[in-house]
Amino acid sequence: MGVLMSRRQTVEKVQKVSLAVSAFKDGLREQPSTRRRAEAGGTRRGTLEHAVQEGEEEASAGPSQPEESSASKAAWERLRDGRGVEPEEFDRANRFTPPAFIRPKRELHDDEPLDISLEQQEQVLNDEMCEICEVWTAESLFPCRVCSRVYHDGCLRRMGYLQNDSAVEVTETAHTETGWSCYYCDNLNLLLTEEEMYSLMETLKNCKIIPGTCLTLDDFLHYKHLVHKQQFEKPMAEAQEEQATLQFSALDPDKKGHIEWHDFLSHESIQLLQKLRPQNALLRLLTAKERERARAAFLALDQDNDGFIGEGECRRARHAWFRKHQKETPSCNVSISHVGPMSESSPASSGSSKSQEKNPQAAEQEEARLVDWSCFLKENVAYILAARPNSAALHLQPPA
């Protein structure tokens, strides 16, 4: 009964939010759009500092200029609806209409234990027709490495999801073991339900994070401090700030000094999933391809075939999910489907130097804990999901 009442209250809350959103949309339609069109050509993406400065300028202009914040309102709408492509970013002439994403819904049985067999392998088959145009043309279809969908590169271009260097990336990686994630799987934010998305948007608004902006290290740490204080009502400890700094570095692999908006959003989405959903619910998000890769990884580590691996091996597997981002040739010939010795340039070896100096006794204690297949999946599920995006960023930095 407690569960049913909780769900009823949740439904009522969602209905209230939906009514508020509908009223908000109706209000936007009634406002003139002349100024918005005039400013569309000048839309730009800057850092959070620039966005906040623009917001302060809009606020100081007074209530006589309501259309000044229309771009910001549009950004919040795109965030809520899961749309990542800006309307101003490409000419819509001769373009397909991007899909209307439907956010998932939680079911009553989602939190119940899920039995995923280690011995019984799953048959993984890709779709036969392009997800966009529903036409079959054999070898010219590019498969997603996460789901069963396949695409034509021309269809992806006309959708606005394939531009410039990304076209080369799809062509070169889609048919390799590295693979390519389609626009559904590349966007971790689409895993959130409407309720979860509403919670994330409220957090971003309270912390004055503007959708579409890049975040510097100071912006990121300031946000993390605010979120931690709101959640625990106490300041963030120094060790936690160091961990946040490491996560920023993982999200900025090219050392540009800032993290892109879609990488920040993916990171926050996977963090929220870890916070709100139990591991059994996260396991239900894995696709057949991801489960097969996890089986291959576990069996490769279980050398004596007793159904158990050491904790240290399980930890190394978490780093191996991100091997797809490695640009140079690894020192060992291992695909992302298998876990083996880590190369010098792999994410695992580039972590904290403290892990390199681990004393033999600690390493021995780590290896003493045995992990079975069920625990292996539960402890790695968040990292498997976080490895979906094509971006070189590590959206969930594994502990060293």
DSSP string covering 365-383 = HHHHSEEEHHHHHHHHHHH
The answer to whether position 389 is within a domain reads yes
Place of tokens 């106490």: 234
3-state helix, strand, coil in the chain (%, to 5): 50, 5, 45
The answer on 386 and 283 residing in a single domain is yes
Going by pLDDT thresholds of 50, 70 and 90, the confidence category of residue 326 is: very low
Non-local CB neighbours of 296 within 8 Å, separated by 6+ positions: 337, 338
The answer to whether position 49 is within a domain reads no
pLDDT in tens, 349-368: 344 444 444 555 555 555 57
The mean pLDDT of 376-398, rounded to a whole number, is: 92
The answer to whether position 283 is within a domain reads yes
Of 205 and 74, more confident: 205
The answer to whether position 300 is within a domain reads yes
* Percentage with pLDDT > 90 across the chain: 38
CA atoms of 337 and 323, how far apart (whole Å): 10
Domain boundary among 169, 186, 203: 186
Of 45 and 186, more confident: 186
Give the distance, in angstroms, between the CA of residue 389 and the centroid of all CA atoms in the same chain.
6
The answer to whether position 42 is within a domain reads no
The answer to whether position 348 is within a domain reads no
The answer on 282 and 175 residing in a single domain is no
Separation of first and last alpha carbons in the chain: 43
Going by pLDDT thresholds of 50, 70 and 90, the confidence category of residue 325 is: very low
Structural domain count, the chain = 2
What does DSSP say about strands 370-372 and 150-152: parallel, antiparallel, or unpaired? unpaired
The answer to whether position 90 is within a domain reads no
Looking at residue 279, its pLDDT comes to: 92
User: Which structural domain, as residue segments, surrounds residue 312?
Assistant: 277-323+369-399
**Which H or E element spans position 37?**
helix 34-40
The answer on 281 and 381 residing in a single domain is yes
**pLDDT mean across residues, the chain:** 75
Which domain CATH number covers 159? 3.30.40.10
Looking at residue 72, its pLDDT comes to: 74
The answer on 282 and 180 residing in a single domain is no
pLDDT in tens, 99-141: 778 899 998 888 898 899 998 889 889 998 999 888 887 668 8
CA atoms of 215 and 205, how far apart (whole Å): 15
The answer to whether position 39 is within a domain reads no
Domain boundary among 171, 186, 201: 186
The mean pLDDT of 228-243, rounded to a whole number, is: 92
269 burial level (CB within 10 Å; 0-12, 13-18, 19+):
buried
